[in-house]
Structure 1
Amino acid sequence: MDLSSAEELYPIAILMDELKSDDTQLRLNAIHRLSTIALALGPQRAREDLIPFLQDNLDDEDEVLLALAEELGKGFFEYIGGSEHAHLLLAPLASLAEVEETLVRDKAAESITAICAVLSPAQIEQHYIPLVFRLCHGDWFTSRTSSAALFSPVYPKASTATQDELRKSFAKLGADDTPMVRRAAAKWLGPLVKGMKKEHVITEALPVYRRLAADDQDSVRLLTIQDLIAIAQQMTPPEVKDHLLTQIRQALTDKSWRVRYMVSNNFVDLAEAVGEDLVRDELVNAFVQLLKDNEAEVRTAGAAGIPGFSKLVDRETILTKILPCVRDLSADSSQHVRAALGTHISGLAPLLGKDATIEHLLPLFLHLLKDEFPDVRLNIISKLEQVNNVIGIELLSQSLLPAIVELAGDKQWRVRQAIIEYIPLLAQQLGKTFFDEKLSNLCMSWLGDIVFSIREAATVNLKKLIDVFGVEWASQAIVPRVVAMATHPNYLYRMTTIFAISAISPSLNVQVLRDDILETVLRLAGDPIPNIRFNVAKTLDVIATVMIASPNDGGTEVTKNSLLPVLQQLQADNDADVRYFSGRALEKCMAVQ
């Protein structure tokens, strides 16, 4: 390495010292500074000195190698002169793609494919393709495993002759003696197929898929489900029936639950790919069997696919075939199955229509809302809007309001929080009168919840309600009850008062703030609890923003006569936080004088 000055030597010398250090963190720091060092060296020196240095010093801990594989793929070619020199990064990454650690190999392959995107056709033919073939035919399974990921990005860019060689080489990976290589081939066959012409899919990719789909390792077979979908997408429905029906049936009844799980998890994509006739003739009954599978994981994945698959069949099939399974799943022994159903069952409402939803789904909602597992209740609540759009909020509220009121006091705070987030929608649809009669007390009770997150959500809920019903309603229904909490002996209630006022103030006008709220806030400025006083200072900052924005409504006068004196008083507080937040608010108020 011919370096002409100490200044030029310094960056690379530091890098070498740190990479050779016994301290892993130092070596990691050096790797993360590669772009800085390359920038200091300049493009030519980075190409001539830095890249060879990295190539020669790859014997390191996996953590460092992983960082290097990631760093080289994050646009590092820009530091060595741009995309015309990007191929120089392939050599060190190819070495990383051959190490034993899977994470390093995967990251190296990811970085190689990222570099492929910026290579010219000449660079691909001269550098990338030879690299793929070298790794593909390597003696160690690690290189062959990594090579599987490199075919699909380059295949559409390669010449016809090279494409022929790529397909033949990939077929060898699919028949490799090592299960890990076959797994890699199964994982990456689908992406490769998407770039092939149909004739090559049928004549060359299909035999590879069939071999892998019949593999004795279920870890290989389960990965072929994505391949099955990719191949089906390249064919017409009659071709799918001719070439893939046997494999589809085998996958649906595979002895391994992990394979059936993958089928269940990707069932909607598979159904969309195979065509309407096969869905009707084969997949409806197959889907029912998956929803009744012995393994809970398979049923859970199937439950998630119920709305998506139901879109592909007629309403009669939903009512006669799928809904009976849904009823069974609502009482499934696995809480995870019921939770998945709770998340997705509401997706059936738009497909069934109003009458069928009322008849078939509402009873299931009520049943699931009483489930002993909190996630089931939570998932049902969070998706009720879809049902509301179909049957209307009035009917929904009549059917579910008792359950919602019961869940408002649920022992699981996340369920109570989900109910709070649903209240503004209910309020908007039900109107002021219904809300004041049925839900107002409920909303105020949350302000005294023992869990801070619930109290916080309750204050946000009040603001949303004011945005729905207006300031006049707030001044009569909300504000008096909020300020009444300011005299509570428990400081948490007084704190909640301040939080609530801070949350709703932007939605109120100067008159309500001045006449109904300000006196309470100013009184709490003298509270013995420092946390309350500094939150008062933060709230005065919010109120000041409203006042300053409304000078014609008396906001300037309130700022000068009421806010400034109290904030100046808080500036002398013995608590540092109180002084800091009051100082910020005071600075804002002083600006309007």
Structure 2
Amino acid sequence: IHTTPLPPSPPSFSLNDSPPSPSLSNLSLAPPLSPSSSASSSPLQLSHSFSSSVLKPSPSPALPLSLPPSLYRALTASLSFPLPPYGAQIFEDNCVPVVHRFGNANAEMEDQAIGAIILDKCAAIFGREILSEMLPLIVSLSQNATFRVRQTIAGALGVFAEVLGEKQTEQDLLPLFNTLSNDKIWRVRKECVAATLSLSRVLPVELSKPFLLVRYEQFVDDASRWVRTAAYQNIGPFIATFKGEDIDDDFLILFTEMISPKMKSKVGDPFISECCSFSFPGVFQTIGKDRWEQIKECYQNLVKDPQWKVRRSLSYSIHDIAQIAGPEITKNELLECWKTFFTDLDLVKSGVIKNLAPFVEVLPADIREEEFKLALETIENEQENWRFRKYLARQLARLSALIPTLVESFFLPCALRLSFDPVAEVRKYAVTQFGLMIPLLDDKSIQEFTTTLMSKSSPPSTFYERQIFVDVCGSMIDQVNVQFFENTFMNTFFSLASDPVPNVRLLVAAILAKKMNRHSKWSAHQKKVTELLNQLKMDKDGDVVAAAAQ
């Protein structure tokens, strides 16, 4: 579930116990110097020297050498110097030898680093067959004396697994993962943490669950705080790779305890609660509502977290949690959390207002009016933050269907008031709600609504009110049946094509041209529509003419 706005991602800083050094994938590696190269050679000369010595054109004149475009882009993005374009497309005979040349045990350290980078960046392009042939090279690089090479291979294990598939991952990559996850350098072990997600997706659950659980328990107890932090940051997505019935309590314990004071002190990362709150909906969806009790305390602690970013993430996802949990849990557990968020900071409060309708939809119908009437009035009367009124305006029709007892007393009058809101964004959404609300009204309410709206279309109305009237008509044209519009607003709407204010005529012209002209729904009125459009095409205002000619 990804309907909540992304909180600022867990820190992208280099997680290090000492001053950071760039990761291999971001290194600006200069091309290896040829024996004839001098220290004063220009970057262009070095690039040409490297590419011409490694990627030699085919001797056959019928097959000039070229890289496939996708590989060319990947290599260019990986390395700091450009690769020259050639003519035709020869892939395996030229690119694979490049990797072997750079990655073999006798190559220079920088060459081996480049070989590891190419493998990492281009594994998906190579495909299963070519990558299988490179497994001995991958094994060799994973045992390289330079930790940066091992770090790159460890980070690429997930990609390798997705390319090679289940059988080769189990046979060839798991031993490498096992070795690298015990590497003496923490940066290598940290890269293995991220690889667990792909390994879990590729391997059968009967193998991945016991094997990766042991490894994950090792990572969360690692000597390096950066490995521990990475493990806790990834535990939510890791759990989500399993099916609900495959999740052990041990996994959930790791997830729920990550926000305990003891664990926060152990991890030493203030963002760990944010990671937990962001992953919570996905974890809950994975395990299902039957196991709510196992994670309930964790959720309640997150709701009270002192960091507003944690609470904001939960406020934006509480409707998702409710839809997974069902009516009873929502009524008994989540409703109080919703009220807590509604009285929080605006940055938190906005989440529950923006997704009000889907949350109300889960609650039992008999308590909706009682629980939300006051909150709805509070939102409408919000003066300092107009976005709250916009969020309400967008949901009025849906809320009307969910709480029909408030349609005539609150939702319809609210829609009328918000249609004349001083903020254009609020008006834009409010005017779109009437056509969807009309089927919910009785005859008396429809008559009152029609009378109120018609009063905005004729003297002593202002041109601003007539513009709103035209906007409402424009939205109803798509939503109501033809007979209703004919009996209520059509004649007045047509008459505004001769309004003395160009802005009113402009709106009428745009609606006639885009929504009514040559539309089968309004075919009975095509003659009148054509007549009005011809009139507006002769208008003295150029913008009106342009709108009518669309």
RMSD over aligned CA atoms reads 4.9
Q: How many Å apart are 1:195 and its aligned residue?
A: 2.5
1:421 match: 432
1:269 aligns with 2:282: yes
- Name the CA distance, whole Å, in 2 between partners of 1:346 and 1:56: 48
8 Å CA contact 1:353–1:390 kept in 2: the answer is: no
Pairing 1:295-334 to 2, within 5 Å after superposition? 295-313=307-325, 315-333=327-345
2:202 match: 195
Higher helix share: 1
1:176 match: 185
Q: Which amino acid aligns with 1:205?
A: L
Segment drifting more, 286-295 vs 146-155: 146-155
Q: Which amino acid aligns with 2:312?
A: T
8 Å CA contact 1:466–1:473 kept in 2: the answer is: no
1:229 match: 239
Pairing 1:187-586 to 2, within 5 Å after superposition? 187-198=194-205, 200-214=207-221, 216-217=225-226, 220-226=230-236, 228-230=238-240, 233=243, 236=246, 240-241=248-249, 243-253=250-260, 254-255=263-264, 256-274=269-287, 278-280=291-293, 282-313=294-325, 315-333=327-345, 335-371=346-382, 372-384=384-396, 387-392=399-404, 395-430=406-441, 434-435=445-446, 437-438=448-449, 442=453, 462-503=473-514, 504-507=516-519, 509=522, 512-514=525-527, 516-536=528-548, 538=549
Give a deviation string over 1:29-59, Cα, whole Å, max 9, x none.
xx9xxxxx99x987673379x999x989986
Q: Which amino acid aligns with 1:190?
A: L
Which structure 1 residue ranges, 5 or more long, are not aligned?
1-19, 32-36, 540-593
SS in structure 2 opposite 1:498?
Answer: helix
SS in structure 2 opposite 1:125?
Answer: helix
Q: Which amino acid aligns with 2:525?
A: V
Q: How many Å apart are 1:200 and its aligned residue?
A: 4.3
8 Å CA contact 1:288–1:322 kept in 2: the answer is: no
Q: 1:300 to 1:88 in 2, by over 3 A?
A: farther
Q: 1:110 to 1:531 in 2, by over 3 A?
A: farther
- Name the CA distance, whole Å, in 1 between partners of 2:392 and 2:76: 58
Q: How many Å apart are 1:158 and its aligned residue?
A: 0.7
8 Å CA contact 2:194–2:234 kept in 1: the answer is: yes
Give a deviation string over 1:61-87, Cα, whole Å, max 9, x none.
6xx68xx9xx99xxx9x9436x89885
Q: How many Å apart are 1:442 and its aligned residue?
A: 4.7
Q: Which amino acid aligns with 1:156?
A: E
8 Å CA contact 2:285–2:324 kept in 1: the answer is: yes
8 Å CA contact 1:213–1:221 kept in 2: the answer is: yes
Q: How many Å apart are 1:88 and its aligned residue?
A: 6.1
Q: 1:236 to 1:522 in 2, by over 3 A?
A: closer
Q: 1:390 to 1:94 in 2, by over 3 A?
A: farther
Pairing 1:66-85 to 2, within 5 Å after superposition? 79-80=89-90
Q: How many Å apart are 1:144 and its aligned residue?
A: 1.5
Q: 1:207 to 1:58 in 2, by over 3 A?
A: closer
Q: Which amino acid aligns with 2:66?
A: A
1:45 match: 65
Q: Greater relative contact order: 1 or 2 (C-alpha under 8 angstroms, separation 6 or more)?
A: 2
8 Å CA contact 1:233–1:274 kept in 2: the answer is: yes
Q: How many Å apart are 1:426 and its aligned residue?
A: 1.3
Q: Which amino acid aligns with 2:185?
A: D
Q: How many Å apart are 1:265 and its aligned residue?
A: 1.2
- Name the CA distance, whole Å, in 1 between partners of 2:77 and 2:410: 70
Identity score, percent:
13
8 Å CA contact 1:257–1:298 kept in 2: the answer is: no
Query: Normalised by the size of structure 1, how large is the TM-score?
Result: 0.65
Give a deviation string over 1:137-161, Cα, whole Å, max 9, x none.
4625376146423333135141654
Q: Which amino acid aligns with 2:387?
A: D
Q: 1:138 to 1:526 in 2, by over 3 A?
A: farther
Give a deviation string over 1:197-231, Cα, whole Å, max 9, x none.
44543554223322333452375245322354147
Q: 1:84 to 1:390 in 2, by over 3 A?
A: farther
Q: Which amino acid aligns with 2:441?
A: L
Q: 1:290 to 1:199 in 2, by over 3 A?
A: same
Q: Which amino acid aligns with 1:149?
A: A
Give a deviation string over 1:420-459, Cα, whole Å, max 9, x none.
23232113443776445326755996998879xx96x986
Q: 1:531 to 1:209 in 2, by over 3 A?
A: same
Q: 1:195 to 1:482 in 2, by over 3 A?
A: same
Count of paired positions: 472
8 Å CA contact 1:133–1:169 kept in 2: the answer is: no
- Name the CA distance, whole Å, in 1 between partners of 2:534 and 2:306: 65
- Name the CA distance, whole Å, in 1 between partners of 2:469 and 2:149: 56
Q: 1:59 to 1:190 in 2, by over 3 A?
A: closer
- Name the CA distance, whole Å, in 1 between partners of 2:306 and 2:115: 37
Q: 1:486 to 1:297 in 2, by over 3 A?
A: same
1:166 aligns with 2:176: yes
Q: Which amino acid aligns with 1:322?
A: L
Q: 1:518 to 1:199 in 2, by over 3 A?
A: closer
Query: Normalised by the size of structure 2, how large is the TM-score?
Result: 0.69
Give a deviation string over 1:164-216, Cα, whole Å, max 9, x none.
4233244246x6323xx454333331221222344543554223322333452
8 Å CA contact 1:388–1:396 kept in 2: the answer is: yes
Q: How many Å apart are 1:332 and its aligned residue?
A: 0.8
SS in structure 2 opposite 1:141?
Answer: helix
- Name the CA distance, whole Å, in 2 between partners of 1:360 and 1:379: 19
1:60 aligns with 2:60: no
Give a deviation string over 1:260-310, Cα, whole Å, max 9, x none.
111111112223444666421x31122122122111111111123323333
- Name the CA distance, whole Å, in 2 between partners of 1:437 and 1:93: 80
